[in-house]
C-alpha cells in the first residue's frame, strides 16, 4: 500500500525532472525537410515520464528508403540519469495509427544509443460488422475521449471506469492518461489498492467483462530494426560537439569536456577533449517506409446473400427443369397409349 503511494510520487518526479524535446533534439528532418520541437506534442507515461508524439500533415512520404524518411539526432544526456529510477538509458519508439492513443509501454520498440534503422510496412485490416462479425466502429470515442477507438484503449478505459464505480478511486494499473477519462485525481491508495487489484483480477477472469471488440478498420505498422555503433569519436569531436554548441548546450559541453564552446571553436579541433562522458549520449534514428505498397487483410463472409440467392436460383431451376421434362414425358406416354389403343381397335375389325 505504501509502495503504491511512493510510485505515484516517483511518477510526478519523473515528469518534473525528465528530459524535454528541446533538451534532446539536435536534428530533425523528414523527406529532407527540416522539422523542429514544435512539431512534437507532449504526453506523459507513468513508466517513462515525458513522451512526445510527432503527428503532422505537413510531412508526407512519397518515396521509400532512408533518405526520404524521418531522421532524428538526439542527445540522451545519459550522465544525468538518476538511480534507482533508471537502470539503463535509451528511448522507446512507437509507430501507430494517427489519432489513436500511443501505448508506448506495451507496444513500443526499445532504442539504444546507436544509429538505428527502422523500416516500416503498412498493413490495413478490415473486419466484418454484425451479423457476419463482431467488430465495432465506436464513433463516439473521438468526441468523448479525444482519441480514435482501439481495443486496448477500450479495455483500459473500462478498467478505470469500473474501479472508480466500485472502489471510488482511480486505478494505477493502466498506462493510458487517466485525465482523458476522469477529472478525479484520487489514485487508489492504502486499503483501496486491494480493491483496485480485485477489480483488475475480476476483469481478467471475465467476472467484470468489458464490451470491447476489435475495430472494423485498423492500421498496423510492421517494423524491421537494425543498428550500428555510433558515433565515431572523430565524428563526435568535429560534428556533434559543434552542433551542440549551436543549440546552446554550452554548460553541458563544459561539464563533459572541461572546455566551453568558445574555447573549442578557437582550438580548431586541437584540444585534448575527454570524450568518455559524451560517448553513449547520442542516438540517431532513420525511420522510413520499406516500400510504398501495403498489405490489405479483409474478412469476408463465408456465405453471403448473393451466394444464397444464386444457390436458390440454381435449385429452383433444377426442379423447374425436371418438372417440364416430366410433363413432356407424360404427354408422350399418353400419346403412345392412345396410339396403342387405336392400333388394337383396328386390328379387331
- What's the alpha-carbon Rg for the chain, to the nearest Å? 34
Total domains in the chain come to 2
Give the confidence band of 225 by pLDDT, cuts at 50, 70, 90.
very high
Is the model's pLDDT at 16 over the cut of 50? yes
Does residue 85 lie in a domain region?
A: no
Range of the domain at 148: 137-212
Does residue 315 lie in a domain region?
A: yes
Residue 179 C-alpha cell reads as 485525465
What pLDDT is recorded for position 310? 79
Percentage of residues of the chain with pLDDT beyond 70? 89
- Tell me if 25 sits within 8 A of 36, measured CB to CB: yes
Boundary of a domain, candidates 212, 238, 255: 212
Does residue 172 lie in a domain region?
A: yes
> Which range is most confident: 1-10, 81-90, 123-132, 245-254?
123-132
What pLDDT is recorded for position 72? 95
Regarding predicted confidence, which is higher, 210 or 308? 210
Q: How far, in Å, CA of 95 to CA of 64, rounded? A: 16
Is the model's pLDDT at 7 over the cut of 50? no
Does residue 97 lie in a domain region?
A: no
Bridge partners, 187 (sequence order): 170
Give residue-wise pLDDT tens across range 311-322.
787 777 766 666
Does residue 239 lie in a domain region?
A: no
Q: For strands 40-45 and 49-54, give the pairing.
A: antiparallel
Mean pLDDT score across all residues of the chain: 83
What pLDDT is recorded for position 13? 64
Q: What is the mean pLDDT of residues 98-114?
A: 91
Does residue 339 lie in a domain region?
A: yes
Boundary of a domain, candidates 197, 212, 227: 212
- Tell me if 285 sits within 8 A of 74, measured CB to CB: yes
Is the model's pLDDT at 96 over the cut of 70? yes
What pLDDT is recorded for position 236? 85
Does residue 278 lie in a domain region?
A: no
What pLDDT is recorded for position 5? 39
Q: What is the mean pLDDT of residues 237-266?
A: 80
Does residue 183 lie in a domain region?
A: yes
Is the model's pLDDT at 247 over the cut of 90? no
Give residue-wise pLDDT tens across range 59-87.
778 889 998 999 999 998 877 776 666 67
Boundary of a domain, candidates 212, 233, 257: 212
Amino acid at each position: 500500500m505504501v509502495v503504491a503511494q511512493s510510485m505515484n510520487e516517483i511518477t510526478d518526479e519523473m515528469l518534473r525532472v525528465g528530459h524535454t524535446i528541446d533538451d534532446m533534439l539536435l536534428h530533425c528532418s523528414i523527406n529532407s525537410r527540416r522539422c523542429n520541437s514544435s512539431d512534437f506534442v507532449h504526453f506523459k507515461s507513468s513508466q517513462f515520464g515525458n513522451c512526445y508524439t510527432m503527428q503532422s500533415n505537413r510531412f508526407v512520404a512519397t518515396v521509400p528508403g532512408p533518405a526520404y524518411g524521418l531522421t532524428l539526432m538526439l542527445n540522451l544526456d545519459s550522465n544525468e540519469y538518476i538511480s534507482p529510477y533508471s537502470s539503463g538509458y535509451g528511448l522507446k519508439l512507437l509507430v501507430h495509427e494517427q489519432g489513436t492513443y500511443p501505448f508506448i509501454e506495451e507496444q513500443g520498440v526499445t532504442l539504444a544509443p546507436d544509429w538505428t534503422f527502422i523500416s516500416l510496412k503498412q498493413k490495413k485490416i478490415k473486419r466484418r460488422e454484425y451479423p457476419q462479425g463482431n467488430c465495432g466502429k465506436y464513433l463516439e470515442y473521438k468526441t468523448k475521449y479525444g482519441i480514435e477507438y482501439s481495443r486496448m484503449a477500450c479495455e483500459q478505459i473500462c478498467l478505470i471506469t469500473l474501479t472508480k464505480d466500485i472502489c471510488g478511486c482511480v486505478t494505477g494499473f493502466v498506462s493510458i492518461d487517466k485525465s482523458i477519462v476522469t477529472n478525479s485525481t484520487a489514485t487508489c491508495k492504502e486499503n483501496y489498492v486491494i480493491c483496485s487489484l480485485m477489480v483488475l483480477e475480476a476483469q481478467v477472469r471475465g467476472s467484470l467483462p468489458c464490451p470491447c471488440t476489435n475495430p472494423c478498420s485498423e492500421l498496423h505498422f510492421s517494423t524491421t530494426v537494425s543498428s550500428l555503433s555510433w558515433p565515431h569519436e572523430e565524428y563526435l569531436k568535429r560534428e556533434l560537439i559543434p552542433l551542440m554548441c549551436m543549440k546552446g548546450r554550452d554548460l553541458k559541453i563544459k561539464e563533459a569536456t572541461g572546455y566551453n564552446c568558445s574555447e573549442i571553436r578557437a582550438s580548431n579541433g586541437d584540444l585534448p577533449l575527454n570524450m568518455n562522458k559524451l560517448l553513449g549520449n547520442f542516438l540517431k534514428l532513420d525511420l522510413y517506409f520499406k516500400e510504398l505498397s501495403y498489405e490489405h487483410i479483409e474478412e469476408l463472409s463465408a456465405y453471403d446473400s448473393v451466394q444464397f440467392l444464386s444457390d436458390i436460383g440454381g435449385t429452383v431451376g433444377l426442379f423447374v427443369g425436371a418438372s417440364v421434362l416430366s410433363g413432356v414425358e407424360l404427354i408422350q406416354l399418353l400419346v403412345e397409349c392412345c396410339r396403342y389403343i387405336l392400333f388394337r381397335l383396328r386390328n379387331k375389325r
